[in-house]
Amino acid sequence: MFMTKTVLKNLLTKYATRLYPFQKIEPFKDAKGELKIEMEKCILCGVCKMRCPSQCISVDKKEKFWQVDPFACVYCGICVEACPVKCLYQESLYRPPADTKQMVCHIQEAKPE
């Protein structure tokens, strides 16, 4: 009986949920999403690799190679804060689901002398 007022109110107001694929919410400004890198800025120092609590980043200075396992990343943002040249950043959305696990690899191109 005590619920009647709430039920009537819910009948007369808008949906509390969104019709998701058609109506999407605007992400919050500082929402932590997918990890990205601007490879040309990267100095391959490996600080991100050392700080990462889930150890999802691997860096090879000789091969000029930077790799992240997006399925192991926990979106904590520690690497973004630790990066000395600020070449890492996070998108405001999570990465979309995928049916196969893949690594995200980047190889730095040789800089023109």
Partner 1 sequence: MARTVLPFGPQHPVLPEPLHLTLTVDDEIVKEAIPKLGYVHRGLEKLAEIRDHTQMIQIVERVCGICSFLHALCYCQGIEALMKAEVPPRAKYLRVVWAELHRIHSHLLWLGLFADAFGFESLFMQFWRIRERIMDVQEATAGNRVIISTNVVGGVKKDIDKEMEKWILETLVKVEKEVNQLKTTILDDYTVKQRTVGIGVISKEKAYELGAAGPTLRASGIAQDMRQTGYAAYPELDFTPVVETDGDSYARTVCRFNEILQAIDLVRQAFAKMPEGELAFKPKGLPSGEVVSRVEQPRGEVLYYIKANGKKFLDRLRIRTPTFANIPPLLEMLPGCDLADVPILILTIDPCISCTER
Of 5 and 62, nearer to partner 1 (C-beta) is 5
19 part of the interface to partner 1, by CB under 8 A:
no
75 part of the interface to partner 1, by CB under 8 A:
yes
Q: What's the min distance (Å) between Cβ of 85 and partner 1?
A: 20
Chosen residue from 39, 77, 106, 108 binding partner 1 by CB under 8 A? 77
Size of the site for partner 1 (CB under 8 A): 22
74 part of the interface to partner 1, by CB under 8 A:
yes
The b/e string for 93-108 (b: 16+ C-beta within 10 A; e otherwise) is: eeeeeeeeeeebebeb
Do 76 and 113 contact (CB within 8 A), yes or no?
no
Of 29 and 101, nearer to partner 1 (C-beta) is 29
